[in-house]
Amino acid sequence: MKVIARAFYFLSQIFRKLANRLSQDDEWRKTLLSWKLANQETNIRLEYPELNSGSVVFDLGGYEGQWASDIFSKYQCNILIFEPCKTFSNNIKKRFVNNASIKILEFGLSSENQIIPIFMDADSTSTFRKGKNAIDIELRKASKFLYEGYDKIDLMKINIEGGEYDLLDHLVEEGLIRNIDNLQIQFHDFVPDAEKRMKKIQDNLKKTHSLTYQYKFLWENWNLNN
């Protein structure tokens, strides 16, 4: 009887976790639908009227360079695109070869200097999602890079497929979060303890920034308090 009871207990735990996962997936689908119906990809993600030709924008996770292209078209600002995947960075370089205001850097920013494997899968390329096509990428310590010449960033877009947690924790701990006027962040839920880690970061951001919009595990923006 104890064996049967134990088996039922484990089965109930499995079904409970599955139900929670389905509920979370349903919530995310609703969020995505709301985002698409409002056409927010080309609305709020590009609405930064304070930007101008003298502004500095960091695009972390450049991929194809479309967001950077759209931002530049509206504000003609100076953009640094961080794209550690050679395939993507090479294509972005070709795209902006005649644009001196857009600089492509073939490394990512994180909490420390390291070389790590990343698993290639188009716009889902990540160090967390395991796959077959792995390549090594370079990450550099964000604080060291920023201290070398970037004491003010007008906008930092972060879409680095799970690496946002370590990076944002690092920026908060170093006090450098105060040097960034706007943070446009995509949190990802496939990282261990994602919800808990996200909430901790959001609680820390509330000390220096104000939330301007939020679509959970899709996109959110934080503006530096005056």
Task: Give residue 140's pLDDT.
Answer: 97
* Residue 119, CB-side half-sphere exposure with 13 Å CA sphere: 10
Q: Is the pLDDT of residue 2 over 90?
A: no
Q: Is the pLDDT of residue 64 over 80?
A: yes
Q: How far apart are CA 189 and CA 218, in angstroms?
A: 10
Task: Give residue 129's pLDDT.
Answer: 56
Place of tokens 């290639």: 120
Q: Is the pLDDT of residue 17 over 50?
A: no
CA dist list (Å): 6 to 11, 13, 16, 92: 9, 11, 15, 55
Q: How far apart are CA 157 and CA 45, in angstroms?
A: 9
Residue type, 195: E
Which position has the higher pLDDT, 13 or 184? Answer: 184
- pLDDT tens digits, 154-192: 999 999 999 999 999 999 999 999 999 999 999 999 999
Q: How confident is the model at residue 210 (pLDDT cuts 50, 70, 90)?
A: very high
Domain 24-224 has CATH 3.40.50.10470: no
CA dist list (Å): 224 to 52, 67, 102: 17, 21, 24
- pLDDT tens digits, 80-90: 999 999 999 99
Which position has the higher pLDDT, 122 or 215? Answer: 215
